Chains A and B, each alone.
Chain A
Amino acid sequence: MASISMTVNGKTVGGEVEDRTLLVEFIRENLRLTGTHVGCDTSQCGACVVHVDGKAVKSCTTLAAQANGCEITTIEGLASDDLHPMQQAFKDNHGLQCGFCTPGMIMAATDMVNRLGKNLDEKTIRAELEGNICRCTGYHNIVKSIQDGASKM
């Protein structure tokens, strides 16, 4: 068993977990933060994307023990009183249908802005979404949402 402690959405959390526990399992099952989703469980779909020390990673492909001592932000940690500008943009632009991929899309989108700035063209956004799969929208409104959200961040 591993004794782990990390900061999740600004709060110090900890627990005893099996060494093989995935970060996404720890987040969903121990912390009950179920906004982070498991889609494919094979590192393809990006529904599980969270920020670890400010960088987007796939939490289904990271052990909780690897994130020991790190600062994690999940989708639940983005909004303050109001929705985060990127969340609002997905709402305004109908950037989702079933919504399953949305938490990962939004975490990937905010990471994109952190790395590349607020002025994102369509080509860049589409290329940067390589690690996030949506099976409903055809991506069109997701791209629009990210462009809109980025400009307001």
Chain B
Amino acid sequence: MYNTNYHRASSVKDAVATMGKSDDGKFVSGGQTLIPTMKQRLAAPSDLIDLRHVDSMKGIAVKGNQVTIGAGTTHAEVNASKELRKACPSICDLAGHIGDPHVRNMGTIGGSIANNDPAADYPAAMMALGAQIVTDKRTIDADDFFTGMFDTALEEDEIITSVTFTAPAKGAYSKFPNPASRYAMAGVFVSQGDSGVRVAVTGAGSDGVFRHGEMEAALASNWDSSAIAECNIDADDLLSDLHGDNSYRANLVKVMAKRAVEAAG
């Protein structure tokens, strides 16, 4: 790892001010992606601004079916929250399958979303739940937030403070993890609620997470896994790599979508 300057932020304001003074700073939360990337020298920020001790960014609030999750909330906390499980079990289950138990104790929902890894799980949840990403400057719809592989609508000094969404009547996430890395080779989150049916796919898209309109329309008219049997998953838009080519992934997307619908009930 190249050397860096570590700063522990006490508040969002403090973090933004520190970022303003840095040459090429980066915010770090759990660091479960950023630190390995720095160790490989694929990233070399001049400054690391630690958000993990900003209390206002932590915690889960559930009011009826309205859910707010602080950006600094760890995957383990999302997984273990009884209150959240009552309102939206699908996101708890998703969080419980990210990485491994030790990674889940450090990694945070805000960090995962800000990084927008094309194989990360949370971006699919945000899209399928129609979540709003709340930053220190504005509120962004998930549909507008994820702008491509490792790319988001965030400005350099903008910090996600929380995410909010309405818990859907039904929802589930199903993923096919790569057997070695455990990252999703295809992961599909489906939801059915007041705002209709949403189907979001991660791990497979060559431009990161995406919604699949045809599967959404098919499931809106018939909420049953058989409804998507005839849907066309365009392999041209999907990743091909040593783990699987795009036609394989296209099939995985459909299989994961069917499993998710069946799990959602």
Contact = CB atoms under 8 A, between A and B. Distances in A.
Contacts of B31: 61-63, 66
For this complex, into which size category does the number of interface residues on chain B fall? 20 to 34
Nearest to B76: A55
Given A66-B52, A108-B101, A61 B6 contact: no
Contacts of A41: 39
Contacts of B58: none
Given A62-B31, A131-B101, 4 more contacts: A42-B39, A56-B101, A57-B105, A108-B102
**Quick one: which of B36, B103, B105 has the most chain A CB within 10 A?**
B105
Contacts of A56: 101-102, 105
A2 B102 contact: no
Nearest to A107: B102
Contacts of B102: 46, 49, 56-58, 108, 111, 131
B32 A43 contact: yes
Interface in A27-44: 41-43
28 contacts: A2-B6, A18-B3, A19-B6, A20-B2, A20-B4, A22-B35, A41-B39, A42-B39, A49-B102, A57-B105, A58-B102, A58-B103, A61-B31, A61-B106, A62-B31, A63-B31, A63-B35, A65-B6, A66-B50, A66-B52, A108-B101, A111-B101, A115-B80, A128-B101, A130-B99, A130-B100, A131-B99, A131-B103
Interface of B: 1-6, 8, 28, 31-32, 35-36, 38-39, 48, 50, 52, 76, 80, 99-103, 105-106, 182
Contact of B103 (A2, A22, A43, A65): A43
A112 interface: yes
A151 interface: no
Contacts of A130: 99-101, 182
Contacts of A55: 76, 105
A141 interface: no
A19 B103 contact: no
B39 A68 contact: no
Interface residues of A, number: 28
Nearest to A49: B102
A19 B1 CA distance: 10
Interface centre among A20, A46, A62 (most CB of B within 10 A): A20
A49 B102 CA distance: 8
Contacts of B105: 55-57
Nearest to A111: B101
A136 B28 CA distance: 36
Given A43-B32, A43-B36, A55-B76, A20 B103 contact: no
A111 to B, nearest CB: 7
Contacts of B28: 66
Contacts of B106: 57-58, 61-62
> Which of B1, B102, B182 is most buried by chain A, counting CB atoms within 10 A of its CB?
B102
A18 B3 CA distance: 7
A22 B38 CA distance: 11
Q: In the complex, which of the residues B31, B52, B80 has the most CB atoms of chain A within 10 Å of its own CB atom?
A: B31
